[in-house]
Structure 1
Amino acid sequence: MEKKYSILLYYCYAEIEDFEAYREEHHLFCIENNLRGRIIISPEGLNGTVSGLKEDCEKYMEYIHSDARFADTEFKEEAHDRMAFAKLHVRVKPEIVHSSLRHINPRKRTGGYVEPEDFKKILAEESEDTVILDVRSNYEHNVGRFKNALTLDIDNFRDFPEKVKELDHLKGKKVVTYCTGGIKCEKASAYLLEQGFENVYQLHGGIIKYGIEAGGEDFEGKCYVFDNRITADVNSVNPSIVSKCFVSGVPTDRMVNCANPECNAHIPMTEEAGWLMDGCCSEECRKHPSRRPYDGTGYYQKNTNHYNPLKGVKREAAKLS
């Protein structure tokens, strides 16, 4: 089956002085070109995952690159058979990835880039002098991670600086960080340098680019992604499953969000267990009065009743009604 849609993953650290006005312009462009996704605009740059027909995604990439501030933005593009988002959100936030590292500017200092093919060689060497460091959260690396990678017990990226205190014994080694698309590594590697680590690098483009350009070899499990897919295949060379069903313990790489919105845990769960538990991680959550109806996917849109994609867009809005 021909895959007529694309999913774009990208980020760009670049100063945006007029971020409120640019948000309006950017939002309107996406509406006019039938794009959906989650886009963050902040004084420090852009971060987005966008979905649409291939030709509309091409227009979007041209739009981004036409702005001198974002001319060097690198897109990770994946083919898909449908829209990966139900809605469009273009939001203004203080940072393009939530962290406790606002003082760090990756445009001034960050870890050196390691391209996918070179990263593959590093994985194959398995040198005791090199550490592969996963800077993602627990629910992400629990479903997929690189072979022999060091993972951190963190629930959010903002907890990363606190965990670095436990890594002092690695300061004499070569440290190569990785994340989903590269954005977290820009600040994580810079912070490691700030804390006295001298030999710090990062996988350029993250797990997604590694899968596209190097076949994803030795990435075990699936990659957690932030769209309707929840997880994505990365490894076309030697794929494996590393996660187990939260309920039954059976190996599975199928991820769901707990149907109890007050829990919303990101957990591996088989289809059978999903239906058995109504998409919940526990009996307590299953009996919760706010439990959302389970449709077999384990993916839930945020509570956006009366959602209006034109909200906050002033210019030309009338023409689109």
Structure 2
Amino acid sequence: MRASGTKRPAAASLATLAVLIAAAVGCQSGGGETAPSPSRSTPSTTSSGPRAHVLAVKIDNVGPARPQTGLDKADIVYVEQVEAGLSRILAAYSSRMPPVVGPVRSARETDLELLRQFDRPTLAFSGAQAKLLPAIEAAPLNPLPPTADPGAYFRGSDRAAPHNLYLRPGKTPHATTGVNAAEDIGLRFAAPPPGGRPLAGHTVRYPAARFAFTWSADRHRWLVDMDGTPARTSDGARLGAADVIVQYVTVHPSLYQDRWGSTSPYTETVGSGSALVLRNGKGYDVRWSRPTADSTTSFTTPDGKRMTFAPGQVWIVFASK
């Protein structure tokens, strides 16, 4: 059973499905996955100023897809489990935009609920399982697959398909306010809270993937290793996070399968539970809470106060309870 506030994809009419299928013809992701047509919106404002207008990009994370391009410029890097126990990344950009991001891969049902924390974000992805397309169209976001804006995507020559599809954010209709995506959903950059325990590193394991975060006092970052190998940018620099949130969640089979018949995992991001925050060489045990799909996720210390974070890139790794 899904957590309260999560919506199952609504059934689409035959006419709607026909439009979706027609729009998707001609674009195949790395597994024959098709993509829906786009919609557009403009950034909204609140009484305290403009909301972040987030560009979320679904990024490949198997060995042949590494090193990724532009991942170090994301405000938030989400890591989730996908089929066969592997991992995939959803990177949220707002305060700065790299010239190129990728490799871009297909969307999952988990992404739709996760992105509802933002104000109608743009989702760049290579395609999706056909039965998921109506849910993507119904979600409060702007879908941006290659069929919607082919001039914004290109195939690189340095690796084989499907691990060579890249996005040029500057060639998309996405407009950014420059607001940090992490601050937009309530994460607060400030002095560290009292407490915490010294922690040199932490490892998160999926059935077929592994992430290790090691504190570097010299760089003031948690250096990232993927599957036992130091993670690097496309220009050779080490990937490092100012903060890492290991958020313990429920992961169960979704309604969808990939082209090989493997069921896609669904990660529940609505609800509550425990989390481990890595900050400044320490580990903090906190609680996370997101009452509904339309609310943001809060992180609080044992005394009920908001957890604070070090300025810089935040990694949020979803780990099974």
TM-score of the two chains, using structure 1 as the length reference: 0.28
User: Greater helix percent: which structure?
Assistant: 1
Give 1 or 2 for the bigger CA radius of gyration. Answer: 1
Normalising by the residue count of structure 2, what TM-score does the alignment of the two structures yield?
0.28
More strand by share: 2
